[in-house]
Amino acid sequence: MTSPEDLLDELRRRRTGDLPTHGGRTLAYVFDSGLDGVDALAAQAHALASSTNGLDPTAFPSMLRCENELVGEAAALLGGGAHTAGTVTSGGTESCLLAVLAAREARPDVPRPRMVLPDTAHPAFDKAAHYFGMEAVRVPVDPVTLAADPSAMAAALDDRTVLVVVSAPSYAHGVLDPVAPVAAAAAARGIRCHVDACIGGWVLPHLDAAPFDLSVPGVTSIAVDLHKYAYCPKGTSVLLHADAALRRPQYFASAAWPGYTMVNPTMQSTRSGGPVAAAWAVVRHLGREGYAELARAARRSTLALAEGVDATDGLRVLVAPDSTLLALTASDGGLDVFTLADEMLARGWYLQPQFGFGPSPANLHLTVTAALSGQEDALLADLRAAVDAARAAGPVVIDDGIAAVVAALDPDALTPEEFGGLLAAAGLGGGGGLPTRMAPVNALLALAPPRLRERLTAEFFGRLQQPVLPAEQD
Ligand SMILES: Cc1ncc(COP(=O)(O)O)c(C=O)c1O
């Protein structure tokens, strides 16, 4: 038997190869309040409840109570009323899936149901369409503001549309869609309108944002992730419906076997109480006022960064940020943002590369959290140095031969051999672990149309996600 100390040491050693999850310098994937004690509290609460099971709320009333309180807190924050009904899910994607599922299940009369959503909505909705046999109708956004275009969305609604989606805000650019006119157009046709506030829903109520929540007429559901800007550990989101009748079709129940009657409001059946208890503890601990200060701090940092980016030669903010997310891009052709991302990583900052898509050029995404407070000038100074270094390095040039290989690939017939050949041609086939500089990989992926990029990335992840047999383990 291996001692607990040795195992924990080994885990700590492995974690040193990860991006830092604390300190505010990883500007995607992670959310840090920057406050001492919050994570320790969450870990203790998680441990206290992780063995409970939400499968049967009568067996573990402690979990039910925490869940109902979290839903109540979210409803109070997001314009809910006496009739609001909700569920704690495992994360943003599950909340999106369930909003779509409920809309589909409520309309069994509609063959091949559709949902209408702006081009900037999160791909969790495409996943939902794929899983649930629906059609996702993407509508181009305003090319300048990158916000949903209400008239184009209204024009896309038809008799098969069961759901309209807007973002509050969009992940890629941090833009708040015009919720009210879209919700009104949906309501006029009796169509559900879901607000994806997964990333911004906990922050926006504390800023001076346009109305976006359940108080807007026509909004039938909204989701907010606790594991994002509520600074709770991964594994919790809240999906709210305007009333219990709207939530009802989200439940799956089966008594068609000899065991327990299975009733699930989520995709999961067994559900650990750990994330729920941890979220409950963090939300309570921070409190409304404590949290409002964290939201305002992240907003102040975002605005300071936006100003600093616009003042940096060669860079500009893609679109004015509505919340605490920022996208920056090159203001002239001489600067490659993917190389800039590598230069920032070398200086200890992770900014997330985003490929060009429609009116949105290649850019870097920043999810700004409260932990960044006070480090804005340091980030901007490193950004200026990184711009100089990226300019000096020049953009990655892809060899014509490799570009020709990419152009000839058929995403739907891509074989492992073809993929291996591409990796080898790009100098990435040695099996020596992950490349230290991602710009060459991103430049290559940028040549691929979205469908091919999906396939290439999935193939790459598939190569990473391989069993390590006992004999090879350390
Ligand atoms: C707007 C939005 N919706 C949905 C999601 C999906 O959330 P998750 O990654 O928790 O599944 C995200 C994630 O960033 C998001 O920003």
DSSP lists the bridge partners of residue 195 as 166, 222
Q: Using H for helix, E for strand and C for coil, what is the string for 154-184?
A: HHHCCCCEEEEEEECCCCCCCCCCCHHHHHH
- pLDDT tens for 78-113 read 999 999 999 999 999 999 999 999 999 999 999 999
Instruction: Give yes or no for residue 73 having a pLDDT over 90.
Output: yes
Instruction: Give yes or no for residue 431 having a pLDDT over 70.
Output: no
Residue 77 lies in a domain: yes
pLDDT at position 430 is 62
Residue 157 lies in a domain: yes
Residue 87 CB partners (closer than 8 Å, separation 6+): 67, 71, 98, 238, 239, 247, 250, 265, 266
Could you give the number of structural domains in the chain?
2
CB of 199 within 6 A of ligand 1: the answer is: yes
Residue 351, Ramachandran bin (φ over 0: left; ψ between -120 and 50: alpha; else beta): beta
CB of 177 within 6 A of ligand 1: the answer is: no
Residue 432 lies in a domain: yes
Side by side, the strands of the sheet bearing 161-167 are: 85-89, 237-241, 221-225, 192-196, 161-167, 114-118, 135-139
- pLDDT tens for 23-65 read 999 999 999 999 999 999 999 999 999 999 999 999 999 999 9
Determine the average pLDDT of the residues in 167-171.
98
- pLDDT tens for 437-466 read 899 999 999 999 999 999 999 999 999 999
Q: Which of 283, 303, 335 is the last residue of a domain?
A: 283
Q: Which two tokens stand for residue 108?
A: 């069994």
Determine the average pLDDT of the residues in 111-117.
97
Task: Specify the long-range contacts of residues 424-427, CB closer than 8 Å, at least 24 apart.
Answer: 425/399, 425/401, 426/402
Q: Contact 338/396 with Cβ under 8 angstroms?
A: yes
Residue 357 lies in a domain: no
Q: With bands split at pLDDT 50, 70 and 90, how would you rate the model's confidence at 237?
A: very high
Instruction: Kindly state whether residues 123 and 268 are assigned to the same domain.
Output: yes
Q: With bands split at pLDDT 50, 70 and 90, how would you rate the model's confidence at 233?
A: very high
CB of 93 within 6 A of ligand 1: the answer is: yes
pLDDT at position 432 is 58
Q: Which of 266, 283, 300 is the last residue of a domain?
A: 283
Whole-angstrom distance, CA of residue 138 vs CA of residue 11: 43
CB of 341 within 6 A of ligand 1: the answer is: no
Instruction: Kindly state whether residues 277 and 404 are assigned to the same domain.
Output: no
Instruction: Kindly state whether residues 193 and 46 are assigned to the same domain.
Output: yes
Ligand 1: residue of 90, 117, 131, 199 to mutate (most ligand atoms within 8 A of CB) is: 199
Whole-angstrom distance, CA of residue 441 vs CA of residue 423: 9
Instruction: Give yes or no for residue 7 having a pLDDT over 70.
Output: yes
CB of 225 within 6 A of ligand 1: the answer is: yes
- pLDDT tens for 271-329 read 999 999 999 999 999 999 999 999 999 999 999 999 999 999 999 999 999 999 999 99
Q: How far is the CA of 122 from the centre of ligand 1 (A)?
A: 7
Find the CATH number of the domain harbouring 275.
3.40.640.10
Q: Which of 283, 303, 323 is the last residue of a domain?
A: 283
CB of 171 within 6 A of ligand 1: the answer is: yes
Instruction: Kindly state whether residues 272 and 411 are assigned to the same domain.
Output: no
Tell me the residue range of the domain where 445 lies.
Answer: 400-466
pLDDT at position 411 is 95
Average pLDDT, the chain: 96
Residue 30 lies in a domain: no
pLDDT at position 425 is 79
Q: Contact 139/148 with Cβ under 8 angstroms?
A: yes
Nearest CA to ligand 1 atom 7: 92
Q: How far is the CA of 199 from the centre of ligand 1 (A)?
A: 6
Residue 290 lies in a domain: no
Determine the average pLDDT of the residues in 183-198.
98
Determine the average pLDDT of the residues in 140-151.
98
pLDDT at position 426 is 77
- pLDDT tens for 381-396 read 999 999 999 999 998 9
